[in-house]
Chain A
Amino acid sequence: MPNSLFEEKLDSGKFILTTEIGPPKGCDITEMIHHIDILRDKVDAINVTDHQSSVLRYPSLGGCLVVKEHGGEPILQMTCRDRNRLALQADLMFACQRGVHNVLTLTGDSIEVGDHKEAKPVFDIDSVQLIKLIRTLESGFDMGGNEITGVPSFCIGSTVHPEADFIEPQLVKFDKKVSAGAQFFQTQGIFDLSKLRMFVQYASQFPVKILAGIIVLSSARMAKYMNANVPGIMVPQNLIDELAAVEKGKGLAKGKEIAARTIKTIEEEKLCHGVHLMAVGNEGIVPEIIEMARSVSVKA
């Protein structure tokens, strides 16, 4: 029996669409609820980010409960940056008990890139060890070897970086994540489909689902900023030029077009099992991009 509705869809063979929402900085979740309402029927699951870029937000787990309350299928993003193994296990128990059964395991960005630069980075365990930890809980024991009552079950995902400029160590880590028990992967932002093709060819030997990460760019400036400041992001020059060529104020429209075009290509070529759409602060435009991807003819 599948652990979650999302796992059932992953296994169904249909083209999967996931997206993510960044919770607010504060207690007013009105906008987040609005985003959940417009997204829940358009996608197969909604990730809730965990203090993305090490910037303090309303918690991921809280956001996942709100997604559930509003009829969506949440994916709990869980980084190793802010919690030690006790806190992670406790949150996993809570998540499971409250019906959140999809987890995306991540190392977490460095504290230094965020807005609490003086905080203590935890990293008690890493993302591979977190996957093992979850599988250990599922076996009925905690990480200390003690028996637990009420055994949790999860559909476990993680991330992979097909566009890394030094890919081999990333592939070794990918292998370790698969061996540890990851079932699906949402990739870091994909801009160069030739690199995605190479990665997918490699990954096809493993029984895991790959969802290509699509970041919606809003301007050439944003692309350059991300290249300089966001870990793991590498927007190629041809896309920056394409964004720079449009008239002022039309950058986001171009960004949406690029995202829709990429999704369409991936789906038509059956490159991956699905896509994970990251609108980074523009969650409201996701339904529109999905519509565009269904209607655009593939070009460029």
Chain B
Amino acid sequence: MIVAEPKPLDAIRQMIAPYSKVLIVGCGTCVTVCGAGGEREVSFLHDKLRLAQAKNPDSIHNYFEYTVKRQCDPEFIDLLDAKTEGVDAIISLACGIGVQAIAEHFPDIPVLPGVNTTFNGMASEYGVWDERCATCGDCCLDETGGICPITRCTKGILNGPCAGPKNGKCEVSKDMDCAWMLIYQRLERLGQMDKMRRYYPARNYQAVPRPRRIVVKSNVAAGEENA
């Protein structure tokens, strides 16, 4: 899932300074799970902004809130049409995809990011999310014991560890496992040391010309309108 972190309140207040009527829009998927931008966080932000305003009555805003199921799908964004009348700006608490999807839908309303979209990751324990996929477009996890060196090695190198790790930890942080130590141990456990010894050629960055697009209409169930 996509993991995001709330922007500091001051940063949000600076962004909304020029606008009077502000709609805060949450997203019901990834950012709800990671506690950055779901219905609950929309409500918290709403309260914090009103509290800040009470302490500093110089800048007056009117706040409204609404949370859609997914900000990255036009079907759900359509539901915002009725909520945006007279709105001067929208704060989106979705990932950067949601922010842009809403901006495309409402070309005349400024859309402001309320979170920093951080990475694609998983919950490794309660309240802890770890990055796992760099969306490189050329997955090599079969070769590396199911551990991604592109994401989990700070240098993203493909032919084994650098000279930096100490006690199995990365030179960048004593709290971060060296991906290549993990890969080595895993491949050894799987009896696949040949994969550790194999030479991996340089990455093909043609797999990641930005922005990327994939078209797979046949794999997606058509809705009534599209059928």
Interface residues of A (CB under 8 A from B): 80-81, 85, 107-110, 112-113, 121, 123-129, 132-133, 143, 159-161, 164-166, 168-170, 172-173, 175-176, 179-180, 188, 231-232, 234
Instruction: Pick from A125, A179, A180, A231: contact of B163, CB below 8 A.
Output: A231
Q: Which residues of B contact A168 (CB under 8 A)?
A: 184
- Would A125 and B154 be within 8 Å (CB), given that A161-B163, A164-B163 are in contact? no
Cα distance, A231 to B176, chains bound together (Å)? 14
Is A85 a contact of B202 with CB atoms below 8 Å? yes
Q: Which residues of B contact A160 (CB under 8 A)?
A: 163
- Would A232 and B184 be within 8 Å (CB), given that A161-B163, A165-B166, A172-B197 are in contact? no
B168 within 8 A of A: yes
Is B184 a contact of A128 with CB atoms below 8 Å? no
Instruction: Pick from A125, A172, A188: contact of B196, CB below 8 A.
Output: A172
In the complex, 30 of the A-B residue pairs with CB atoms within 8 angstroms, ordered by the A residue number, are A85-B202, A107-B157, A108-B155, A109-B171, A110-B164, A110-B170, A110-B172, A112-B154, A123-B155, A124-B203, A125-B202, A127-B157, A127-B162, A128-B199, A129-B202, A132-B199, A143-B202, A160-B163, A161-B163, A165-B168, A169-B160, A169-B184, A173-B159, A173-B161, A176-B199, A231-B162, A231-B164, A232-B163, A232-B166, A232-B171
Contact bitstring B183-218, A, C-beta under 8 A = 1, else 0: 010000000000011011111010000000000000
The minimal Cβ–Cβ distance linking A186 to chain B, given in whole angstroms, is 11
**A163 closest partner in B (C-beta):** B163
Taking CB atoms and an 8 Å cut-off, the chain B residues in 146-170 that contact chain A are: 154-168, 170
Q: Which residues of B contact A121 (CB under 8 A)?
A: 154-155
Q: Which residues of B contact A165 (CB under 8 A)?
A: 166-168
Cα distance, A124 to B206, chains bound together (Å)? 12
The minimal Cβ–Cβ distance linking B8 to chain A, given in whole angstroms, is 18
B119 within 8 A of A: no
Is B199 a contact of A180 with CB atoms below 8 Å? yes
Q: Which residues of A contact B200 (CB under 8 A)?
A: 129
Is A126 a contact of B154 with CB atoms below 8 Å? no
Cα distance, A164 to B165, chains bound together (Å)? 8
Cα distance, A229 to B196, chains bound together (Å)? 28
The minimal Cβ–Cβ distance linking A44 to chain B, given in whole angstroms, is 23
B181 within 8 A of A: yes
Q: Which residues of B contact A108 (CB under 8 A)?
A: 155
Q: Which residues of A contact B156 (CB under 8 A)?
A: 123
Is B197 a contact of A166 with CB atoms below 8 Å? no
Is B155 a contact of A124 with CB atoms below 8 Å? no
Is A107 a contact of B162 with CB atoms below 8 Å? yes
Is B171 a contact of A110 with CB atoms below 8 Å? yes
Q: Which residues of A contact B164 (CB under 8 A)?
A: 109-110, 231-232
The minimal Cβ–Cβ distance linking B67 to chain A, given in whole angstroms, is 34
The minimal Cβ–Cβ distance linking B103 to chain A, given in whole angstroms, is 26
**B160 closest partner in A (C-beta):** A173
Cα distance, A169 to B167, chains bound together (Å)? 13
The minimal Cβ–Cβ distance linking A53 to chain B, given in whole angstroms, is 10
Among B168, B199, B200, which residue has the most Cβ atoms of chain A within 10 A?
B199
Q: Which residues of B contact A159 (CB under 8 A)?
A: 163
Cα distance, A176 to B164, chains bound together (Å)? 18
- Would A169 and B196 be within 8 Å (CB), given that A129-B159, A232-B171 are in contact? yes
Cα distance, A109 to B156, chains bound together (Å)? 12
The minimal Cβ–Cβ distance linking A228 to chain B, given in whole angstroms, is 9
Instruction: Pick from A112, A129, A133, A164: contact of B172, CB below 8 A.
Output: A112
Cα distance, A81 to B155, chains bound together (Å)? 8
Taking CB atoms and an 8 Å cut-off, the chain B residues in 89-125 that contact chain A are: none
Cα distance, A133 to B201, chains bound together (Å)? 10
The minimal Cβ–Cβ distance linking A114 to chain B, given in whole angstroms, is 11
**B183 closest partner in A (C-beta):** A169
The minimal Cβ–Cβ distance linking B131 to chain A, given in whole angstroms, is 15
